[in-house]
Structure 1
Amino acid sequence: MAIYFATVARGLEALAANELQNLGAQQVEPGFCGVAFEGDRALLYRVNLWSRLAFRVLLKLAKFPCYDADDLYRGIQAIDWRPYLSPDTTFAVDATGKNRSLNHTHFTALQVKNAVVDQQREQWGDRSTIDTQHPEVRINVHLEADACTVSLDSSGSSLHRRGYRPAVGAAPLKESLAAALVTLTDWPGNVPLLDPLCGSGTLPLEASLVALNIAPGLFREEFGFHTWPDFDADLWDELYQEAEAERKQDLGTWVGGCDRDSATIHQARINAQRCDLAEQIQFWVEDLANLEAPADSGYLLCNPPYGQRLGTDTDLGAFYKLLGDVLKQRFKGWTAFVLSGNKELSRHIGLKSAQRVAVYNGTLPCQWLKYELY
């Protein structure tokens, strides 16, 4: 059994812990912006393939007291790097966190690199090449409260980059946050779902992937562990084929999204195509003011602009009032969810929320507001 740590967006730790337990993780412990857990190699591969919420899955190698650069160097040298890193393998170091003495991540990463290659020269008479863009092994070093945790990054690029979305709108919602928001709605997957401000389609797409039991990792070309010396290709193929077999073919209900911008709807359709969902999700151009409900009841999910990256020049108060009017007048019998990064603006909706869940969109504190529309 190995010890792992899945990094997640702030506020999603409890949801991610639940997801990890469902995937078979042991000793699951939510922390700050992540969840520690234990499991075997099959679990490591499965979490990378199936997690909708994690950014990275780190394999913990060591933790040691670390007050200064000398402690760091000694601690890294105390790890036997031979099983993980032969001289013909490229690597990179990601450093996060700091303490009183080590307060510059670039210096920390450099010190780690020096300790590793010095050990390699001693043991092999040769050393690895550094490749910051596409390393075969990515070392993660985290400093916190005079302790250093050293891990290997099994994911490679962040898992929120599913691989189906080359096309994004001006202020895209991360796929992992969209998946979390869908999870928080308890959408049963058999009633209609609409995003009336869908941008490049992330909310309807992630909802559909959940409903169809499609592993988000199926769209990715590669993971970090693919280039590890101990990569078990047969085990990975088995897990990948299992995921393919568990995929449902047809959505049991209507799912769609619209936006007034034809260019972003074009992007949404490309993204749906890449998920092999172009025939199953409706994306169309529509102004919010003209929108009619596509069914008598369903779930409406949206991420309206809140003046941080989009819409700063428009009258957002009037836009939120319009959103509220459309919900009240045309979506009776529906349940609506609105992601709000601005409390003042959300008041303009003019409806009393039945539930508020605090989430973060990047560093911005937001609320996922639920409205029961009678």
Structure 2
Amino acid sequence: MSNSFKMVAKTLFGFEEVLAKELRDLGAQKVEMGNRMVSFYGDTGFMYKANLCLRTAIKILKPITSRRVKNEQDVYDFIQSIRWESYLSVDDTFAIYATVNSTQFTHSKFIALKAKDAIVDKFRKEKGRRPNVDLDHPDLSIDIHIQRDLCTVSLDSSGGSLHHRGYRTATNIAPINEVLAAGLLLLSGWDGQCDFLDPMCGSGTMAIEAAMIACNIPANLNRKEFAFEKWLDWDLDLFEKIEESCLKKTRDFHHSIIGMDKAPSAVRKANVNVENANLTDFVTIKEGDFFSSSKDVEGTLHMVFNPPYDERLEINLEEFYSQIGDTLKQNYPGTHAWFITGNLEALKYVGLRPSRKIKVFNGKLEARLVKYEMYAGSKKAKHQQDQ
């Protein structure tokens, strides 16, 4: 891989290990975990593949250079020293996004503005004209990150966040982010080797992501565009070759994936999204109330869901969460039940002891992904059987 370069995949808190594994499985080199990010090496084809296939990445950045900076003037001079004509023509548009984690620099928008001035001034001086800024659909999206005094300039190869998969056109109240859904599924150990149920499926995201994992379908196959498609070195033939080879690696799936919701409007929306994702052969959405449902498959059932917590809907928490516990205990033997909640108090009402608790974030809200192991028969009998 002589043409390989360093890249950074950004992710959500708690998914660093999952993303590092995804990258290794895809064939990335020198994979290293950081805070909400994983760095790795690969070539241009691998950059395309990472954007297409990674389920838990929000963005793939390609760092181009970095330098120590002491003040705003240093930032301006540094940005101006970069050979922007290699990445941007005077007729292109660009956008700059900055994040700062530093005592010297405290205002990210000001840094972005300073960097924009540096690029514009450089083009004006050299070409007599300047490229325009376009925050919605730029030809080049530039990422500036200042950590203490180290300023790193990267090209954003993804564009809009990679959770915009392209299949979700219909949503309900507080839909779960697709990257969050995929990360929760991977953390839960979902691998497509048994039946799956999301008993409170909303707009169907969890069931769709579960099907894509089970069938090994590239996460962003339905996405409309990636930022790298507007780069000066964009290689369509290479991209199509990569896409074709990824599609050859899809797997057959011999179990059921069901999304259930008691709201007819949610069921309608979920069906639209399943159709958009071309997964009607694999995902069934049905109307039903979890609390009056029971397990209707042989063997193990894998359940992952995102029940409402008071941030989103007006519910009686105590009653609702104790009903979750009762339903699991009485009606779902032989089930690995996982759910996420942003209300840590509410977990007390479930009345079951979780066998796992994983700290994650849903947006800015600290949450827990919890697992309840529902045995077929009594736990004691199961324990004796395992001896």
- Tell me the TM-score normalized by structure 2: 0.93
Q: Which moved more, 1:329-338 or 1:116-125?
A: 116-125
User: Do the aligned residues in 1 keep the contact of 2:53 with 2:220 (CA within 8 Å)?
Assistant: yes
Aligned: 1:184 with 2:181: no
Does 1:246 pair with 2:249?
yes
**What is the distance in 2 between the residues matched to 1:47 and 1:93?**
22
Counterparts of 1:282-301 in structure 2 under 5 Å?
Answer: 282-296=284-298, 297-301=300-304
1:2-29 deviation line (CA, Å, top 9, x unaligned):
1111110011111111111111111111
* CA distances 1:244-300 after superposition (whole Å, capped 9, x unpaired): 33334x531011011111111111100100111123211111122211212133111
Out of 281, 284, 287, the residue aligned to residue 283 of structure 2 is 281
Taking only aligned residues, the RMSD between alpha carbons, in angstroms, comes to: 1.4
Q: Measure the CA separation in 2 of the matches of 1:94 and 1:285.
A: 43
Q: Mapping of 1:207-226 within 5 angstroms?
A: 207-226=210-229
- 8 A Cα contact 1:64 1:148, kept in partner: yes
Aligned match of 2:56: 53
- The one-letter amino acid of 2:183's match is A
Query: Per-residue displacement from partner, 1:306-344 (whole Å, max 9, x unpaired)?
Result: 212x22x32111001111101000001111112122222
Q: Please state whether the residue corresponding to 1:293 is helix, strand or coil.
A: coil
Is it true that 1:83 corresponds to 2:86 in the alignment? yes
CA distance in structure 1 between the partners assigned to 2:250 and 2:274 by the alignment: 16
Look up the match of 2:14.
11
Distance 1:118 1:38 in 2: 33
Secondary structure of the residue that 1:217 maps to in structure 2?
Answer: coil
Q: How does 1:133-144 map to 2 (within 5 A)?
A: 133-144=136-147
Q: Distance in 2 between matches of 1:292 and 1:92?
A: 52
Contact 1:86 / 1:128 at 8 angstroms: preserved in 2? Answer: yes
1:116 counterpart = 2:103? no
Q: Pick from 252, 260, 263 the counterpart of residue 262 of structure 2.
A: 260
Stretches (4+) displaced over 4 A: none
Shift of 1:195: 0.8
Partner SS for 2:133:
coil
Query: Which among 9, 21, 25 is matched to residue 22 of structure 1?
Result: 25
The amino acid of 1:273's aligned partner reads E
Q: 1:94 aligns with which of 94, 97, 105?
A: 97
Kindly tell me: are residues 181 and 93 of structure 1, through their superposed partners in 2, closer, same or farther at Cα, counting changes over 3 Å?
A: same
Q: How does 1:330-345 map to 2 (within 5 A)?
A: 330-345=331-346
Q: Deviations over 1:155-185 (max 9, x none)?
A: 0111111000011221111111111111112
Q: Is the 8 A contact 2:103 2:148 kept in 1?
A: no
Matched residue, 1:146: 149
Q: Give 1:132's aligned amino acid.
A: L
Measure the CA separation in 1 of the matches of 2:47 and 2:191: 28
1:213 alignment partner, SS class: coil
Shift of 1:124: 2.5
Offset of residue 242 of structure 1: 1.7
Q: Are residues 1:130 and 2:129 paired?
A: no
User: In structure 2, what is the equivalent of residue 319 of structure 1?
Assistant: 320
Return the alpha-carbon distance in structure 2 between the equivalents of residues 362 and 201 of structure 1. 19
Q: Say whether residues 1:359 and 2:363 are aligned partners.
A: no
Percent identical among aligned pairs is 37
Partners of 2:265 and 2:70 in 1: how far apart?
53
- Alignment check: 8 A CA contact 2:124 2:130 kept: yes
Question: 1:169 matched to which residue of 2?
Answer: 172
CA distance in 1, matches of 2:15, 2:193: 25
Secondary structure in 2 aligned to 1:325? helix
Amino acid at match of 1:353: P
1:125 positional shift: 2.6
Q: Which runs of 5+ in 2 are unaligned?
A: 376-387
- How many residues in Structure 1 have an aligned counterpart in Structure 2? 371
Q: Which residue of 1 aligns with 2:382?
A: none
The C-alpha deviation readout for 1:57-112, integer Å capped at 9, x for no partner, is 00101111122210110111121111101111111111112534432222211110
SS in structure 1 opposite 2:322?
helix
Paired letter, 2:274:
A
Which residue identity does 2:293 align to in structure 1? L
CA distance in 1, matches of 2:248, 2:128: 47
Indicate the SS of the match to 1:158: coil
Could you tell me which runs of 5 or more consecutive residues in structure 1 were left unpaired when the two chains were aligned. Answer: none
- Residue pair 1:59, 1:152 contacting (<8 A) in 2 also: yes
